[in-house]
């Protein structure tokens, strides 16, 4: 039986740098799982429909993995609309949607590597405060998890850490809050998929505040592992379980005593 195809789906349609990361992730997964068909698409209806039709032609089944790093359970309205539209027209392909990637603890290792590289390039020798900056689109569960990741990151490095995003607390505001505590040597970890306009805005704010900001996660192996985990769990929804056959009734022997 052919395994369901994998389609990575992003709602970031305005930046080629995000598209490049999506294709890099697709290629990495394809090399790891040669038995799977893997594609990447955006919420553009034609892009997603083409991926679903082409990749689902063999198995007739597709799992869509939303590439949202800040949302934990709820996909964005744009992703919901795109999936609903392609499901309505792709009657020959069964579709399951995984939950978003979310701010998983698995990503802290990748964030650390990216930040160490940025600090090395900037020749930064001291550090006394951290900001964990995330892409927009967090749901309630995602916001709670992001705060938890900041506490874990703070514990790892024995430094204060605050969170930032582009909708509620900007990177500039987060850095200012650390400066108010007397912290001077600051760095920003990046929970972004690619260097889109949201990332660029946060990086400009960090630079103006004299802080070093790490590059986006890109195709880090932890992200690949999370994609495959989300895929495997969602693929279970496509498994058809045969109804249980009724058991034949067995007549009980007559145990009356015969005199």
* Ordered DSSP codes for 119-162: HHHHT-----EEEEEE-S---HHHHHHHHHHHHHHHHHHTS-EE
pLDDT of 36-47, one tens digit each?
A: 999 999 998 688
Confidence band, pLDDT 50/70/90 cuts, at residue 243: low
Domains 5-102+219-237 and 105-213 share a fold: yes
Average pLDDT of the residues in 157-164 = 96
Based on its alpha-carbon atoms, the radius of gyration of the chain, rounded to whole angstroms, reads 24
Task: Show me where the domains of the chain are located.
Answer: 5-102+219-237, 105-213
Q: What is the band of 91 on the pLDDT scale with cuts at 50, 70, 90?
A: confident
Give the pLDDT mean for 108-126.
Answer: 96
The mean pLDDT value of the chain amounts to 91
Task: Give φ, ψ of 65 to 5 degrees.
Answer: -110, 105
- pLDDT higher than threshold 60 for residue 254: no
According to the model, what pLDDT value does residue 252 have? 58
Q: Please compute the mean of the pLDDT values over residues 131-158 and round it to a whole number.
A: 96
Confidence of residue 251 (pLDDT cuts 50, 70, 90): low
Q: Give residue 246's pLDDT.
A: 62
Confidence of residue 239 (pLDDT cuts 50, 70, 90): confident
pTM of the predicted model over 0.85: yes
CA 203/CA 215 separation, integer angstroms: 9
pLDDT for 259 equals 46
Contact 63, 8 (CB under 8 A): no
Right CATH number for 105-213 from 3.40.50.2000, 3.40.50.1400, 3.40.50.150, 4.10.93.10? 3.40.50.1400
Percent of the chain with pLDDT over 70: 91
Domain 5-102+219-237 falls in which CATH fold? Rossmann fold (3.40.50)
String of DSSP letters for 161-219: EEEE-SSSS-HHHHHHHHHHTT--SEEEEEE-SS--HHHHHHHHHHHHTT-EEPPP-TT
- Give residue-wise pLDDT tens across range 18-35: 999 999 999 999 999 999
**How far apart, in whole angstroms, are the C-alpha atoms of residue 83 and residue 76?**
11
**CA distance to 53, 167, 221, per residue, from 93 (Å):** 7, 37, 29
């Amino acid at each position: 039986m052919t395994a369901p195809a994998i389609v990575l789906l992003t709602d970031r349609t305005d930046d080629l740098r995000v598209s490049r990361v999506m294709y890099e992730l697709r290629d990495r997964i394809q090399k790891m799982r040669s038995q799977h068909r893997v594609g990447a698409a955006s919420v553009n209806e034609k892009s997603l429909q083409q991926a679903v039709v082409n990749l689902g032609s063999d198995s007739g089944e597709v799992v869509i993995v939303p590439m949202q790093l800040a949302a934990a359970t709820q996909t964005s309205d744009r992703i919901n609309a795109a999936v609903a539209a392609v499901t309505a027209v792709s009657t020959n392909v069964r579709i399951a949607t995984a939950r978003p990637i979310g701010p998983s603890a698995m990503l802290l290792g990748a964030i650390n590597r990216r930040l160490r590289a940025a600090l090395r390039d900037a020749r930064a020798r001291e550090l006394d405060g951290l900001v964990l900056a995330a892409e927009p689109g967090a749901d309630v569960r995602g916001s709670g998890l992001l705060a938890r990741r900041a506490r874990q990151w703070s514990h790892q490095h024995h430094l204060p850490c605050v969170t930032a995003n582009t909708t509620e607390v900007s990177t500039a505001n987060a850095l200012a809050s650390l400066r108010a505590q007397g912290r001077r040597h600051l760095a920003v970890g990046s929970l972004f998929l690619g260097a889109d306009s949201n990332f660029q805005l946060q990086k400009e704010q960090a630079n103006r505040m004299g802080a070093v900001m790490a590059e986006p996660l890109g195709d880090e192996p932890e992200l690949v592992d999370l994609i495959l985990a989300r895929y495997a769990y969602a693929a279970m929804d496509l498994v058809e379980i045969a109804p249980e056959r009724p058991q034949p009734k067995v007549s009980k022997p007559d145990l009356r005593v015969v005199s």
